[in-house]
A and B are shown apart, each in its own frame.
Chain A
Amino acid sequence: MTSSVITNTFTGTLHTLDGNGDSQLTWDKDVPGEVEAARKHFNRMTKPRSKGGLGYLAYTVDEGGGRGEVLREFDPEATRIVLAPQTVGG
C-alpha cells in the first residue's frame, strides 16, 4: 500500500506600485526564506518616513472584490497585498 501526501502550496503576491506599473514579489508561506524576504520588503516599504522608511500604505485585496483592507503588519496568509505610495492632497 502506498500513501501519498498532498501538500497545499500557498503562494501570496505582493504588488508594489511603481514606475513599472507594479513590481511583484511572491512567497510560499511554507518556505521561511520566502516569507522572510516578503516581510522585509513589506517592512522597508511601509516603515514611516519619520523613521527612515518610505511610508507606503499596505492593503490586502480580494481578486475582483473592488475594495481593500488596510494591513498594518505583513500577513503571510494573505493571497494578495498591494503597496501604494502615501496619499497626498492635490
Chain B
Amino acid sequence: MPEFTPISVFDIGQWSRTATGANTLTNFTYWPPISLNTTTGIDITTQGWTRTSPIETFASTSSTMWGLWNAGVQDPVAFAADQYFGDDAQPQPGRERRLAVRARAEELLQCLLTPEQWQAYQANQAFEVVGSLGRRYRIKHGVSGNIGIIEHGVEVARLCAHPQTYDRNADAHLPTEDVLIGQLLHLTSDEASFLRVANVHHGRIPDLAA
C-alpha cells in the first residue's frame, strides 16, 4: 500500500515535446500527467514540453500516479512507448506483463460487446452504445474525456467519467480496456447516475425526446 500524498492537481491536457535523438514524440495525450501546484511532481514546463490543448485538470491523492508522471517527464519516449504503443514499443521491463493484462481485459471487452460493436472497435478504436435512458454515446479508446454524446450522427458533447483507475488493493492501474468496460456497463445500465458524475468537457447534454 503506497503512502498517499496530499491532493495535488494534474493537468490532463495534451502536451508535446520533441525528443532528442532518432525518436520524435509529439502531440500525444499524456496520462497521468502534469503537476500544476505540487511539490511532488516535476514541473513539465522546465522539461521542454509545450501545451497543445486547453487546460484540463483533476485532483488525485495517488503517489503512484506521481511516480508515473515523473518517469514520463524524465524519459518521455521510453514511457510513452511502453504505455501507449503496445506491440511497436521498444522492450521495457514489465512490458510483457502489461501486454498480458491488456490482452486479458480486451478479451473480456470483446466478450461483452456485440459483434458489431467489436468490429467498430477493431476498425476505429471506438464503439457506440445506447444509454439506459436512450441517448447515444461513442466510447473511444482512452481514459479521460473519451465519451461523446451523438445526436443525428454528430458529437454534441464530450464527457469525462470513468472507473477509478487506480486499484489501491493491487497497487496497480486498470488497463484502458477495463475503463471502457466500466463506461459501457454504467451507461447502459444507469445512464442518469453516470451523467450525474460526468464532467462535460464541451458541448451540452441533449434533452431526451418526449
Interface of A toward B, CB cutoff 8 Å: 15, 17-22, 54, 57, 59, 61, 63-70, 82, 84-90
Number of interface residues of B (CB under 8 A): 51
Closest Cβ neighbor of A57 among chain B residues: B186
The reply to whether A64 and B182 contact each other, CB–CB distance below 8 Å, is no
Which chain B residues border A20 with CB–CB below 8 Å? 101, 104, 170, 172
In the complex, besides A22-B108, A61-B185, A90-B144, 4 extra interface pairs with C-beta distance below 8 angstroms are A18-B170, A59-B189, A89-B161, A90-B161
Given contacts A22-B105, A63-B112, A66-B113, contact A86 B189 (CB under 8 A): no
The reply to whether A66 and B185 contact each other, CB–CB distance below 8 Å, is no
| B90 sits at the interface (CB 8 A) | no
Which chain A residues border B133 with CB–CB below 8 Å? none
Q: How far is the CA of A70 from the CA of B131 in the complex (A)?
A: 13
Q: For chain B residues 99-136, which have a beta carbon within 8 Å of chain A? A: 100-105, 107-108, 111-115, 117, 129-130
Which chain B residues border A90 with CB–CB below 8 Å? 12, 58, 143-145, 160-162, 199
The reply to whether A88 and B161 contact each other, CB–CB distance below 8 Å, is yes
11 contacts between A and B (CB under 8 A): A17-B163, A17-B181, A18-B167, A18-B170, A20-B101, A21-B103, A21-B108, A57-B185, A57-B186, A85-B174, A90-B12
Q: How far is the CA of A3 from the CA of B43 in the complex (A)?
A: 77
> Which of B108, B111, B167, B199 is close to A19, meaning CB atoms less than 8 Å apart?
B167
Which chain A residues border B104 with CB–CB below 8 Å? 20-22
| Secondary structure dominating the interface of A | strand
Q: How far is the CA of A71 from the CA of B130 in the complex (A)?
A: 19
Which chain A residues border B103 with CB–CB below 8 Å? 21
Which chain A residues border B112 with CB–CB below 8 Å? 61, 63-66, 68, 82
Closest Cβ neighbor of B97 among chain A residues: A20
Given contacts A84-B181, A87-B197, contact A68 B101 (CB under 8 A): no
| B33 sits at the interface (CB 8 A) | no
Q: How far is the CA of A85 from the CA of B197 in the complex (A)?
A: 14
| B198 sits at the interface (CB 8 A) | yes
Which chain A residues border B114 with CB–CB below 8 Å? 64-66
Which chain A residues border B129 with CB–CB below 8 Å? 66-67
Which chain B residues border A22 with CB–CB below 8 Å? 104-105, 108, 178
Closest Cβ neighbor of B57 among chain A residues: A90
Q: How far is the CA of A86 from the CA of B165 in the complex (A)?
A: 9
Given contacts A66-B112, A70-B189, A89-B198, contact A19 B163 (CB under 8 A): no
B33 to chain A minimum Cβ distance, whole angstroms, is 12
The reply to whether B181 and A89 contact each other, CB–CB distance below 8 Å, is no
